[in-house]
Amino acid sequence: MSNRLLIPLAAALLALALLLPPLARAQNANQQLAGNSVLETIKKRGSIKIGMSTFVPWAMRDKNGELIGYEIDVAKQLAEDMKVKAEFVPTAWDGIIPALLAGKFDLIIGGMSITPERNLTVNFTLPYANSGIHLVAHKELAAGLKSLSDFDKPEVVLAVRRGATPATAAKRLMPAATLRQFDEDALALQEVLNGKAHAFVTSTPTPAFEALKHPDKLFLPIAEPFVQGAEGFALRKGDPDALNFFNNWILLRQQDGWLKERHDYWFKSRDWAARVVE
């Protein structure tokens, strides 16, 4: 072999030798990252811990005290597909993200709307549900109020759930109104039923359901939801393998129609109503 050929060959071999250590380090880093994924924790434990909070019809207790709802169906099917058990960790809504970051559970499946503020702290999957924000009002107190601007007055009291997206939307869209915050949806609704608040601002389909349940006291002054939302699983940052798995699970369950079928059952029917305490 001539010297003219040896020089380029030597240069190529040298370049390859210099390139191999960084490639090896990158491969080791990827392997370490995969090993630290919450997916490995779930598989070793044999269960997936799910942070959630009760929102009708996302998650609620039936007459026997068992958890039922759209979120519960989603979480149980996810666990079944992963061949592990589903463990639910009921958590106060205003503390659910800090609890996730503290490792109290593996992910949040709790009707959590994807927002830029939340996304700075946690990672979100693709949307697995789409809801909206609406309000249901007291027939006497809110008589004559027909638009957001009608409700945007200091003398109007809006009941909301503390820390939830509807509370943020109410504050943004009706800043002049008086916001009264509660730890549970049921308490916020009761404030309206008792005639102490003009309206309850919450996620769909609750306003429509409550108007049907209490036609003598409640009504929908605005025909359609005034905010459209998208809900995703929330998980800790720095875990691309888990994010990839959950995204693909959602995608596949959307394609086979399972998510739509479950969503329609819980959100577009009241077939489940007899299972819960009214």
Residue in 149, 146, 110 with CA at minimum distance from that of residue 129: 110
Dump pLDDT digits (tens) for 37-75.
999 999 999 999 999 999 889 999 999 999 999 999 999
Number of separate helices (H) and strands (E) present in the chain: 11, 13
Closest CA to 177 of 144, 200, 142, 153: 153
Class of domain 132-228: alpha beta
Backbone conformation region of residue 46, classed left if phi is above 0, alpha if psi is from -120 to 50, else beta: left
| pLDDT at res. 278 | 67
Taking each helix axis as running N to C, give the angle between helix 240-255 and helix 3-35, from 0 to 180 degrees, rounded to the nearest 10.
70
73-79, long-range: CB < 8 A, 24+ apart: 73/262, 73/266, 74/109, 74/128, 74/259, 74/262, 75/48, 75/50, 75/109, 77/253, 77/258, 78/48, 78/109, 78/246, 78/249, 79/47, 79/48
> Is 202 a residue whose pLDDT tops 50?
yes
Domain spans in the chain, listed from the N-terminal domain onward: 39-130+230-275, 132-228
Q: What is the pLDDT of residues 126-144, one digit of tens each?
A: 999 988 999 999 999 999 9
Which residue type is seen at 2? S
State residue 269's pLDDT score: 86
Q: Chain-wide mean pLDDT for the chain?
A: 91
Count of residues for the chain? 278
Angle between helices 240-255 and 70-82 (to 10 degrees): 110
What pTM, to 2 d.p., does this model score?
0.74
3-class SS letters over 235-272: ECCCCHHHHHHHHHHHHHHHHCCHHHHHHHHHHCCCCC
pLDDT one-digit tens code per residue, 100-115:
999 999 999 999 999 9
Candidates 3.40.190.10, 1.20.120.330, 3.40.50.800, 3.40.50.720; correct CATH number of 39-130+230-275?
3.40.190.10
pLDDT at 29: 47
pLDDT at position 268: 84
The 3-state DSSP class for residue 80 equals: helix
Do 132-228 and 39-130+230-275 fall under one CATH topology?
yes
Cβ 34 vs Cβ 90: under 8 Å? no
